[in-house]
Structure 1
């Protein structure tokens, strides 16, 4: 579309009374020898600036997102441009030259201005080459060779693209939605490898957060890159072999590229002082008539101070929060994008698929929680497919300040429970399935009684303000009209009056006090997580490297097909425990992110003393070295293990230069284990092995058979020594001249 400049000047949205006329003429004038025409290609797309906003606010968003405020101060901070470090590793040189020559043709909708408008047309190619050489010479290698995307990866990437929130800004496949940020000619710009690197950490390249970080795994980034480049016609050009010259840097500075890519002091006129000849005559933005009107309205209202609600809306629009979230009935998914917001759990209603309303969110969330969530550090709604992206702390600082300083709610009036222990006990009862049954919908430490799986109860006190909690529980529908959360205090009257004298405020206070313990709160009635049993299958042993009682996090459990099991301590190179029966119940470590212990499956677990199994003693009266649980034993080096055909391990470790292979085999006539320790050389004379300690007595056959407790018999291949030390019995074996030591651990029927 071409329009004579005289017609543009007379357009109703092209103000004629002063500075706005000059600014817009400068923004759109091509500078091609005074041709008298300018060309409008696809207008720059700023997703947060649209017709739902007041024109003044939409104009402020544009002035910020088009980086006008990099040179001209007068309104809020600008977004900034991509970091050009390592550009050579990401961007094809041929594409980069086309983009510099004509940004809006190479990438319709880009917010990059055409910076070569004042350069003579015959010189533009040469200047573009110099700029490419300078940019690619800043740092970084050439892009990796292009590879073909795998069909399965393309399919997975398509699912991710339409599920996790990409379509909040970009258009879905085969569907044109106005205002979508274009994904144009990506195959000519990126290889799969370079696009994966970008998707994994967009903020490293675009620190302004225009493309936020979605916490993608490496595999997810590969799938998305494969999908986005599925129809690419890869074009790899060779980077210039010329060394970057000062000419490229001079053009980079004179065209003011550094103002956005390497920002410094602007030195330019403030927005309010713009006049003829001082209005970005080196730049060209093909603004639509509507965008022209928005900028005009914003510039004419620069002296007007925005109220806090307007400032919040501008910040949310800049970050495009309003593509997913609503606040004060503004924003939220458009009708065209709504079908792409999905959930794992339809039973929770609309709140399970649509990101939460941000009205009064600064009064809802504690400051530290609000800060983390805005930056994208925490996810509390796992049932939402759309992910909360990370914009980074710097990019969300202003929004955080505005929300936390200005959002207010009425103060909830209530009487506290004086006895806080009684409050916790009452809260524990109320959330359980005998009273209000909060656990029927909400998870508790990730465990649930139903398939609803609403926000975990343990996260609430960490996130929510107490005042919002009281107000919300009194009338949930006042905050969310479509919520399925019931009102347990309709009209201020409790549905369970038998607790705390039926006082609504005290009951809510009790629940809040109970939730203060977070993950340490007592499990409420109704939460009965299914156990996770683990054991040997198909005649092979199984291993589970987790935390065990008496050992710590370096425990290695082994379950044997013949029904006897052990836990080995890799920190102290010792046998930690042994038991007969089922191997393990591991829900504590599986559901608790490794924070709990593996529970041994047998009833009678024999635990061996903490501390090194080998020690050098000056005499038999010398005490055995003392060591705390989970502390590495001095002189020992654990070297892993080898597995036989039945997956039974031989542990390997060394002690003061002595190499030891420690093998455990289950016996068919058990339940028993036969252990063989093999040494690579003769042990020194004063070296002893501690077999066991505790309630020990010698058997009838002398120095090679002993009884530990009532259930375990120990049979040695060499003579053992039973002694009293530190108030308990210890069974030692001197290792002098031994090449190996055999021990059988046999469980005796009661």
Structure 2
């Protein structure tokens, strides 16, 4: 989001953004051969600077460069062509180094430009500096490199053409027709800079950022010189963090292929080093449009036109190749052992090389040598070669890795340290923090805007909850944070929770073992919430006004009981720099009248209360606040309130439903004005305060509908919509189920208009968000016997641009979607003029009934 804070000097904003853009620049004293060296985030941030030892850094490179795809890290290689080795030399499974592997190429012919494939295969380090793809042709003459790369590109393009997956729409997840062609680069920039992409990838220098107050640590970093930072162990925190290169995306991808990749990266990259943010198809299209615009042929931020990405969504750049060239490409693909790293839909041979236990790292002709005749060129710099040599030596000497080192290896490989800090390792880069914000920019400090630390997380979170978090199945407990936790691979999901528990010594201790007999204590726990918990936390979606902290309901499924007890007794000792205050100062309770003032017994009571929410009543202060706020809660039947509202004006009629979807109606302009979900309205200002500001929806997902009257008599379908209409509101009556039905007159016609919750989508998909269904009937008034062949048009939707979702659904730029019955949709007309696009439905025979479904 473009955030400009008042009174912030322009220079502050410019230099903050420029610092992020320049984080990937190497230091002047860096190694001269780093320009094309493979970029591995964990290695470059930690091993290169001695924060982890060379052996651990080398093991990371062996995995991320997929060395072990050819060279087994155990004592023997599995392939039939590998040299014999004694089985007793094999390493146990938890000590073996799994290769990251390259992309799956089953659909390479649809996903990548053939021209880019040929160029990349011929010279990967020139085309994409920092790539982990080795150069397999570097020792060959230029002409031969080009011939081989063209052949392999032809083989992949013409034989690897698996279809894109079919993405089905539901009531809660609409999918537009050819969604990849409707991306919004501006919105994509918002996603890139708020969801977490900028934690790993560099930002454009023109991206404005908000001014955030420095934490004590950041303020200290600004004051210390390099020697002092080193002495205090803060050099890592002060250091710039390299960015993972994106390369020339525009030359590689088309809109369709990049959008599909962002929507489901695991399909082509199952290792998920690029994690899955579970983007909607719309978000993926927006992000793809931004990336294709920003990372163009002329580099980040140039904004040049894209020759490689066509509107059709099909990769460009290849002409038809004959069967002989394809056959030659298949032969080279096998001969170069490409299938060791890449899966294809074709049968290809895989050749195993010497196991690492038998490799001579000092040989003058191997992958680690400087020999121009070596078969595989990784463009390694000296630090990387030394680290890999150390790791091979460790394997050959029988060096084993502890559970802590195994866990660190996974966190380094997946770049979890790019966002999270564990002990003194990692965290968001110093010059990237300004992009991490809260929703609404509420000041919650670093604890409220940065991803949570992983120190002791094995003792804090249950393994089941950790598994859900890593697999993307956990409900968000920090909805106030813009950053989004992505989904990781099944291998990570299976191993990391177990390793966290082992490393953090999270012994399996039951609730009863920690708390003993806790029967009947929940009510006392409810009272204890009012000593301060309600000031910062929500309870089953309910909170005091302005409170945006973590929701404490269902805490028993997330938090370990022993950690909960320790944390409440002394928060600062368990979590450094936490904002959580200490309520049991000097071991004494602020409520000595409850449970004999015993802090531990009171903590048990709090646990039992929170664990059972929402079965118990809300804390008293929240209940009292709800009563004082006169919140209207439509239970059983709809509620209708005449009030003032910002969008619906001074003649607003607000209608709330038990289905948690509500709307406001503008009785002056006679139109549907606003809709929202969740909570309804606070009536205090309407009922008691004469000068109260306009009532605001209490819920979420608030959407405004286009202004103006919905009917017009036009001389032709291309006539502009009238700015004003002679319409007269006739009031409303409560129909079936107490749902209001509005009446108005227009140009000799009478119109009835009833709006109620839409139930069709929810019947099909219980997870679908509720929408609205509107039924309008227009007929000549009693004084008018017939409509005299007039055509009255109904404007179903309007906006600066309309996007077709399916044959009977349109969406505007505000996210409002309108669905018409197929019979009406087939007769609808799209009008474009005066900077507006309108979806119009003609009413030719009367009485005429129109049914419209709204979703957003």
Distance 1:556 1:40 in 2: 58
Q: Map of 1:653-664 to 2, 5 A cutoff?
A: none
Report what 2:171 is aligned to. Answer: none
1:467 aligns with one of 562, 581, 584:
562
1:540 deviation in Å?
11
CA distance in 2, matches of 1:388, 1:96: 32
Q: Does 1:168 pair with 2:199?
A: yes
Change (3 A) 1:194 1:542: farther
Tell me what 1:248 maps to: 329
Partner-residue secondary structure (3-state), 2:494: helix
- Counterpart of 2:453 (choices 333, 349, 357) is 357
| Bigger mean CA deviation after superposition, 440-449 or 378-387 | 378-387
- Residues 430-441 of structure 1: matches in 2 within 5 Å? 430-431=528-529, 433=530, 436-441=531-536
Partners of 2:205 and 2:424 lie apart in 1 by: 30
- Cα–Cα, structure 1 residues 242 and 167, in superposed 2: closer, same or farther, change >3 Å? same
Corresponding position: 1:398 with 2:495: yes
Pairs within 5 Å for 1:5-20? none
After TM superposition, give the deviation of residue 450 of structure 1 in Å: 3.5
CA contact (8 A) 1:41 1:104 kept: no
Match of 1:89 among 94, 101, 110: 110
Q: Which residue of 2 aligns with 1:27?
A: none
Q: How far apart, in 1, do the equivalents of 2:756 and 2:493 lie?
A: 54
SS at match of 1:213: coil
1:138-153 aligned within 5 A: 138-140=159-161, 153=184
- TM-superposed deviation, 1:100: 0.6
User: In the superposition, relative to structure 1, how do residues 415 and 260 fare at CA in structure 2: closer, same or farther (>3 Å)?
Assistant: closer
Determine the C-alpha separation between the residues in 2 that align with 1:590 and 1:267.
57
Paired position in structure 2 for 1:197 = 260
Alignment-derived partner of residue 185 in structure 2: 154
2:621 is paired with a residue whose SS is coil
Q: Larger RCO: Structure 1 or Structure 2 (Cα < 8 Å, ≥ 6 residues apart)?
A: 2
Q: Which residue of 2 aligns with 1:225?
A: 288
The 2-side partners of 1:457 and 1:135 are apart by 52
For 2:456 and 2:162, locate their aligned partners in 1 and report how far apart those are by CA, in whole Å. 48
Q: Is the 8 A contact 1:171 1:177 kept in 2?
A: no
2: distance between equivalents of 1:173 and 1:78?
Answer: 32
User: Using the alignment, how far apart are the partners of 2:603 and 2:179 within structure 1?
Assistant: 59
Q: Find the partner of 2:632 among 531, 539, 555.
A: 531
Q: Secondary structure at the match of 2:43?
A: coil
Q: Is the 8 A contact 1:168 1:337 kept in 2?
A: yes
1:648 matched to 2:669? The reply is no
Question: Greater CA deviation, 462-471 or 473-482?
Answer: 473-482
Which position in structure 1 is the counterpart of 2:131?
110
Deviation digits for residues 466-504 of structure 1 (CA, Å, limit 9, x no counterpart): 111111111111122321111111222112111110111
The two structures have a TM-score, normalised by structure 1, of 0.64
CA displacement at 1:199 relative to structure 2: 1.3
Q: Does 1:420 align with 2:519?
A: yes
CA shift, 1:524, in A, is 1.9
Aligned residue number for residue 234 of structure 1: 306
User: Matches of residues 495-510 of structure 1 in structure 2 within 5 Å?
Assistant: 495-510=590-605
Alpha-carbon distance in 2 for matches of 1:644, 1:83: 62
Q: For structure 1, which runs of at least 5 residues remain unmatched after alignment?
A: 1-37, 549-554, 562-581, 592-603, 609-642, 652-662, 666-750
In 2, Cα distance between equivalents of 1:182 and 1:471 = 43
Which residue of structure 2 lines up, in the alignment, with residue 274 of structure 1? 359
1:415 CA displacement: 7.9
- Superposed CA offset, 1:347-375 (max 9, x none): 42211112111112111111110111123
Does 2:406 align with 1:334?
no
* Residue equivalent to 1:55: 54
**Deviation digits for residues 271-305 of structure 1 (CA, Å, limit 9, x no counterpart):** 12113599454321111222122212222222211
Q: 1:289: which partner in 2?
A: 382
Q: In the TM superposition, what is the alpha-carbon distance from 1:330 to its structure 2 partner?
A: 0.9
SS in 2 for 1:310: helix
Instruction: Name the CA shift for 1:395/1:408 in 2 (closer, same or farther; >3 Å).
Output: closer
Q: 2:410 touches 2:492 (CA, 8 Å); kept in 1?
A: no
Distance in 1, Cα, partners of 2:288 & 2:450: 26
Query: What is the TM-score with the length of structure 2 in the denominator?
Result: 0.57
2:469 is the alignment partner of 1:373: yes
Q: What is the aligned-residue RMSD (CA, Å)?
A: 4.4
What is the distance in 2 between the residues matched to 1:55 and 1:329? 18
Moved more, 230-239 or 405-414: 405-414
> How far apart, CA to CA, are the structure 2 residues paired with 1:141 and 1:239?
18
Compute the displacement of 1:184 (Å): 1.9
What is the aligned residue count? 545
| Distance apart, 1:464 and its partner CA | 0.5
Alpha-carbon distance in structure 2 between the residues aligned to 1:266 and 1:518: 58
Instruction: Tell me the equivalent position of 1:301.
Output: 394
Shift of 1:343: 2.2
How far is 1:131 from its partner? 0.7
- 258-267 or 109-118, which moves further after superposition? 258-267
Question: Structure 1 residues 296 and 202, CA, compared in 2 at 3 Å: closer, same or farther?
Answer: same
Measure how far apart 1:191 and its partner are. Answer: 2.3
Q: CA deviation at 1:448?
A: 1.7
Give CA deviations for 1:661-717 in whole Å, capped at 9, x if unaligned.
xx999xxxxxxxxxxxxxxxxxxxxxxxxxxxxxxxxxxxxxxxxxxxxxxxxxxxx
CA distance in 1, matches of 2:658, 2:318: 51
CA contact (8 A) 1:375 1:391 kept: yes
SS of 2:553's equivalent in the other structure is helix
